[in-house]
Amino acid sequence: MDFLFIADPLESFKISKDSTLAMMRVAQESGHRLWFCQSRNILWRDNRVVADCQSLAIKPSGTTWFELGDLESRALNTFSAVLMRTDPPFDIEYLNTTWMLSAATRQGAKVFNHPAAIRDHSEKLSITEFPELIPPTLVTRELSAVEVFHQTHQDIVIKPLDGMGGMGVFRVGPDGLNLASIVETLGENGARTLMVQRFLPEIAQGDKRVLLIGGEVVPYALARIPQGSEIRGNLAAGGKGVAMPLSATEKAVAERLAPILNQRGLFLVGLDLIGGFVTEINVTSPTCFVEITEQTSFNVPQFWLSALEKALG
């Protein structure tokens, strides 16, 4: 089968732990043909959605880990699968790409995750669909609402809706120090919506990334554990990644959400859980394949490929 990966520049990949590269490797090892382009290379031309793309070969060693073929123009519906793996943030150009990919699905292309499902699921706001699974949460642009929430819960976390990798996450304790300044700065004086949640002390045991693939749950999570005085467990913020089996609570939450999200076209999902509470539902470019695979006996890339082959029939 021919797999087209829409991703960031290959030169930017972190070779030692990149989940997209892990997907590419296992697909190539199984005999599938790889193709690559960036989102800017998706075009509407001659009444078709096409990709100006290149064949891709993963090399086993050497200074350059990949080899690209000549540039070709192919309709997206000629690929067995189109894998959308461009990293957040979800900005206007990301949104434009999903609209183009939706047009491609109308022409018969098979896109994972489905572009309409990506658009419908804000990685932070989507948790509000499952209020019984989330910590006390406020979404607002109003400082006064945040102040009342803080008075109620005392210890809170404030974050922007379009952040990634722990960017812009602040904790405000019972003393309320700098609360107004943080809200005004993050919210650009009421111009941007913020999410506020009760601080969960279980973050000390890790912000757990749980992978859902094809409606099934990977039985290990990657606990991203904050280091030192840091409150953020995100690996990009210096957190330590430790793979561990899912707890009974984590498994129950994941097994509840997996079939619901998969039915909507969200083939690959990264749930973030702290103390059993869902804090985010990541659908754009979930990661942690390599860390879980290296630290456990569970081969996440192979599990992903088997599920993809099954979905393609």
**Is pLDDT of 13 > 90?**
yes
pLDDT of the residue at 263: 98
Q: Which fold has domain 202-308?
A: D-amino Acid Aminotransferase; Chain A, domain 1 (3.30.470)
Q: What does the chain look like in DSSP terms, one character per residue?
A: -EEEEEES-GGG--TTT-HHHHHHHHHHHTTPEEEEE-GGGEEEETTEEEEEEEEEEE-SSSS-SEEEEEEEEEEGGGSSEEEEEPPSP--HHHHHHHHHHHHHHHTT--EES-HHHHHH--TTGGGGG-GGGS-SEEEES-HHHHHHHHHHHSSEEEEETT--TTTT-EEE-TT-TTHHHHHHHHTTTTTS-EEEEE--GGGGG-EEEEEEETTEEEEEEEEEE--TT-----GGGTPEEEEEEPPHHHHHHHHHHHHHHHHTT--EEEEEEETTEEEEEE-SS---HHHHHHHSS--HHHHHHHHHHHHH-
**Is pLDDT of 211 > 60?**
yes
Query: 26 or 166: which carries more pLDDT confidence?
Result: 26
**Is pLDDT of 51 > 60?**
yes
Confidence of residue 235 (pLDDT cuts 50, 70, 90): low
Mean pLDDT of 29-44: 98
Judged by average pLDDT, the poorest of 82-86, 222-226, 288-292 is: 222-226
Task: Looking at the structure, give the CATH architecture of the domain made up of residues 2-119.
Answer: 3-Layer(aba) Sandwich (3.40)
Residues designated catalytic: 124, 159, 209, 224, 232, 272, 280, 282
Mean pLDDT of 176-181: 95
- Chain segment 118-175, per-residue pLDDT in tens: 999 999 999 999 999 999 999 999 999 999 999 999 999 999 988 776 678 999 999 9
What residue ranges do the domains of the chain occupy? 2-119, 136-199, 202-308
CATH 3.30.1490.20 fits 136-199, yes or no: yes
**Is pLDDT of 240 > 70?**
yes
Mean pLDDT of 199-210: 94
